[in-house]
A and B are shown apart, each in its own frame.
Chain A
Amino acid sequence: MVSGANQITEGGIDARRLGQEESGDSSPARLASLGEGDTVRVRLQRFDPTRDEAPYTESYEVPYSKLMRVLDVLNYIAEDLEEDLAYRWYCGVKKCGACAVRVNGREVLSCWEAAEPDMVIEPLRHAPVIRDTVVDRAPHEERIKRMSPWLERAEPYPGFPERLSHRDMGGVVHALNCLSCMCCTSACPVLDLGADTDFAGPAPLVQFAQQALDPRDAMDRGRIALDEGSVFDCVSCYRCEEACPVGIPVVSAIIEPLKAMAYRSMPARAGHVGAFLDVIEGRGRIDPSALVLKTQGWGVLLRSPGRTLRLLVRGKIDPLKTFFGDAAKGIAEVRRLFDGTRDWKP
């Protein structure tokens, strides 16, 4: 059972953040959770697929050192306790992206994130485990390669320095911050679905966006985002943004522009987007039945007639309104907004 925090006091609560304080959900609280003389208790997932039947857990106690990071804890286990731990890191300072693990279910860069008093440390998800916390990066890298991660110019390179402003770079600058650490990919729920999706996952898409969103690039990136990225399988859950250790707005600055490019490049393959726009332009508001019919065709009603009937009975769909209902009030104004923005480009 989750306790219903009884913390509402008179005057000015911020309901949006309820739960934050009691769970120490902030950087200062996390920094303050350990101090000199404390012990960090670690439960580490160990697994050698060439030798072990299944993953198992080992516990370690590590003395706290000043401003300790998760990597300092792992280093202590490997270097001072001389344990045979498999873990990966190169730079130690948030530059290589190789050290990501999950701590208490949350993806972190181990060299960047503060240690916590009690930590369950596990490997990233959605990547095969090589040993302990080390995962195989090859599938991730392969996916990036498939998306042609280099510039292709429409015009020959004009010579150094090329005319380009910081403004022109826009969202690319966000993508450039990406360390390819795969935290976001580990957090992405769509990748839980395995063979049911061919979604690239957020990490390769952010890498891809470094070129796709670059104003100097002329490749048909919209097509690649669909063919190699299945970008419309992203459900917009923002798990990736929450996980990203460098704070990249993965959804708003990367995935949505890629979806826009995909839609522009191949509108037929992004049928629901076009249908959505048409419905709103026509009626001002979205009627899900109209949307589904436009996207999937009439056949959808017949595919599961039982369900269609149930939806009708419960008032979930209303064919009369869908086909003969009036547009929302103010539709003329809404259409004017459509007209006024038709020239927008990603």
Chain B
Amino acid sequence: MKFAYYPGCSAQSTCKELNVSTRLVADRLGLELVELESAACTGSREVRAANRDLFLALNARIMAQAEELGLPLMTICNTCTLNFFDAKKMLADDPEACARVNEMLGETGLAYKGNVEVSHFLWVLLEEIGAERLRELVVRPLRGLKVGAFYGCHMVRPPAHFGFVESRNVRSIETLNEILGCDSVDYSGRVECCGFHTAAGNEKIAVKLTGRHVRSARDGGAQALVTPCPLCHTVLDTFQAEMERDLEARLDMPILHLPQLVGLALGLSPRDLGMDNHMVAVDLPVGAPVV
């Protein structure tokens, strides 16, 4: 199985361990990732709001690169995923904008056709690898480990893309947890917002919004949170000290990137998976791989 791989900005700066662990896990699973090396940012939230055409152009360029390779596009970030989804829809609905964008892309020999498939790594695991194969590959079942899913927003909402009447009914990470052998903890934050997108200007909102959810996870017995999004990870991990100060309580909640959790079950070492790079120490009671 082969994918055009778009790691996005975070996984190449603040969350390098996400890129590292994705590659390691992909390797174990036999996923071939062809990185789009000259891909730029999808624009996070800011470009979408500031300049719609620029947003479309940035995303169309990346999707066109994948189309050129003739490969589906794999993401590892919620916001990037939603940006692609939105751009795809907007370009389909607005042929004039699409033509404008293609004129610019044409100058560098690219063309956006709109037939690219976009999928997040989480969905790739469940759809392409599949439960059965994953179960076979689990060499260190994470038995007894209590994990809370922190989905974030942009791969469960808006309903127009993901189809949920109520996003809280999503179960993809819990499904994966079950395959990996660990228990899923219910708590207030499963599909809540981390507040990342106001954090550059005003980190207070992110700290306040998220702290209470981390506490709820802790109260619910979670030993770690796992997230499919590096932006959520950034808030949950690097701002956790601020949350503790704000709540006047210890949280000590390790935050795992999704491929890190998968990697553990596949027998990879925490160090190789980049867990040493987190702000909150990750020290989980997982045993040695059993072969």
Contacts and interface: CB of A to CB of B under 8 A. Distances in A.
Given A235-B197, A236-B45, A337-B54, A285 B13 contact: yes
B163 interface: yes
B163 A8 contact: no
Contacts of B38: 328-330, 333
A95 interface: no
B193 A237 contact: yes
B2 interface: no
Interface string B35-47: 0011111011111
B279 A276 contact: no
A37 to B, nearest CB: 25
Nearest to B51: A344
Contacts of B198: 232-235
A317 interface: yes
A36 interface: no
Given A286-B44, A316-B277, A260 B49 contact: yes
B204 A196 contact: yes
A249 B61 contact: no
B13 A276 contact: no
Interface stretch (B180-188, B250-258, B264-272): B180-188
Nearest to B149: A2
A10 B132 contact: yes
A27 to B, nearest CB: 7
A341 B47 CA distance: 11
B165 A26 contact: yes
Nearest to A260: B49
Contacts of A15: 122-123, 125-127, 172
A307 B169 CA distance: 37
A285 B172 contact: no
A16 interface: yes
A329 B193 contact: no
A57 interface: no
Contacts of B174: 2-5, 19
A337 B44 CA distance: 16
A119 to B, nearest CB: 14
Contacts of A289: 13
21 contacts: A4-B171, A15-B123, A15-B172, A20-B169, A22-B171, A196-B204, A197-B205, A233-B205, A235-B205, A236-B153, A237-B193, A238-B153, A241-B158, A242-B159, A242-B166, A260-B49, A275-B200, A292-B200, A316-B14, A316-B277, A329-B37
Interface of B: 9-10, 12-14, 16, 37-41, 43-54, 57-58, 61, 86, 103-104, 107-108, 122-123, 125-127, 130-132, 149, 153-155, 157-160, 162-172, 174-179, 183-186, 190, 192-193, 195-198, 200-202, 204-206, 208-209, 234, 238, 241, 276-279
Interface of A: 1-8, 10, 12-20, 22-23, 25-27, 30, 105-106, 189-190, 192-193, 196-197, 232-239, 241-242, 247, 249, 251-252, 256-257, 259-260, 263, 271-273, 275-277, 280, 284-289, 291-292, 295-296, 307, 310-311, 314-318, 321, 328-331, 333-334, 336-338, 340-341, 344, 346
